[in-house]
Structure 1
């Protein structure tokens, strides 16, 4: 037998390696096909009939031809407010847990608590927001309550994603920065965070998409109605969002074109979530270009 002839064991290993490769590629192809089919089905039913008037018009309760203007504005407004609250706190907490927190039982318990909160159903945060804003403070169902409750929902995931991204940065980079005479804060700001930025922005992207399409939290804290104005920046106004409106139109609306409005609303919702992912990818592209240079 030639020295280059594979043994029986090696042939079996080679067979299973190729078999596993084919299976994983096939599984990935099936998942991609399912995602494309799902997106095509939702977008094809709604996008061809969407008009600029539909995006800015007020909704109708009885007559056909209503729009989604206030709900679309509330969706972006609540998303902006929730990120404004959750980003500094969540990213800061992740940096603290990865770089400054001492390694003891308290921080381990704290980390377990954060991981547990990240997996809590969103309706629990909605009930918490309802208890705090509607019952304790007595301000009712408002945009402020919805935004803060969404921030509560996003904080655990942001903190965990940031912590894991910071921990994934090699220690050699930190040591090199310290060797150049930088302080700990300077090394984090100029070395660690730029290297971990891709993973952090990916986490922010996931959080933003989840917040934009969230309905349970908004339904319990911001309500099922709007003030009736297209551009209402009042934090104490009711804040029905597009996701909540989609649920309402699909389940309880009595207008004759409710099904068409639901299809168009679903298409707008999916399209904007895809657009949010694309917008958050732009900083990643610029960051990758800087790293390559």
Structure 2
């Protein structure tokens, strides 16, 4: 067999494997959307769930998912940003930083159910926060922090050293170089990483079953007193998210139209995660174009 023919065969095999992956993904998305999109209606997005009646909606679970996502990002992003800046700029290359990076890699591969059990023992039981949005956000922070830290660190280290040296040559301090040169240049990658982690958080269920709870108490969207149990802003109330709602419907089987509601909720979840990924790509390219004037 000639090298040219062997190369052609290898390329065709790679194309075939890529096509199989695309076909599996397309089949999965098509199946979920074909079953779920017909369930969409105004009532489906505006009515609360009805456990023993037909026609339940997902408004409370959908709101809880976005609220928990926002709270988690507000907690984890500054921590991940600080850790990434330290590791990429200030940390010396020694055994300690090697150990920290190894620990981050190990934590990023932990199963979410383990993070949920840790969150239950630590936040729900030890800190006595109970099943609440705050407990769920803290558990998701632990779940999200390693990957987000690594993503931001990679974005910072990808900046050419010549830009760092140029800032120092102009008389800027190391901190000024970071805030005025490195961070703006790395912002497309940072924003992309944050949005992609948001999609990962939005679809998480296992860690929230043991921390945020499996109940969705009725919310009064006219009551914005954060101390009230019916207030949407209360972070100490239990909160069933969309992913947990799907798991609960299929595990309990109490809802008469459970399969239809589950299919619709799954389609919403898939579309939301897909939107996060497309938004990450769009914003990354937009900011990169603006910064580089390309």
TM exceeding 0.5: yes
In structure 1, distance between residues paired with 2:241 and 2:288: 35
In structure 1, distance between residues paired with 2:9 and 2:85: 42
In structure 2, distance between residues paired with 1:77 and 1:39: 26
Residue of structure 1 in register with 2:284 after alignment: 284
8 A contact 1:56–1:230 mirrored in 2: no
Q: How does 1:88-127 map to 2 (within 5 A)?
A: 88-127=78-117
Following TM superposition, by how much is the alpha carbon of 1:186 offset from its aligned partner in structure 2, in angstroms? 2.6
1:26 paired to 2:25? no
Residue of structure 1 in register with 2:120 after alignment: 130
Q: Deviations over 1:167-218 (max 9, x none)?
A: 2222122223333333322322233223333332332222111110100111
Q: Deviations over 1:228-262 (max 9, x none)?
A: 11542111111110000001111213222111011
Q: How does 1:186-225 map to 2 (within 5 A)?
A: 186-225=176-215
In structure 2, distance between residues paired with 1:16 and 1:170: 39
Residue of structure 2 in register with 1:155 after alignment: 145
Partner secondary structure for residue 132 of structure 1:
helix
In structure 1, distance between residues paired with 2:124 and 2:286: 43
Q: Which moved more, 1:126-135 or 1:190-199?
A: 190-199
In structure 1, distance between residues paired with 2:188 and 2:9: 33
* Superposed CA RMSD: 1.7
Q: Which moved more, 1:259-268 or 1:222-231?
A: 222-231
1:67 to 48, 54, 57: 57
Report the structure number with the largest CA radius of gyration: 1
The number of residues matched between the two structures is 283
In structure 1, distance between residues paired with 2:240 and 2:33: 23
In structure 1, distance between residues paired with 2:188 and 2:8: 32
Q: Taking structure 1 as reference, are residues 128 and 26 closer, same or farther at Cα in structure 2, changes over 3 Å only?
A: same
Residue of structure 2 in register with 1:257 after alignment: 257
Residue of structure 2 in register with 1:45 after alignment: 35
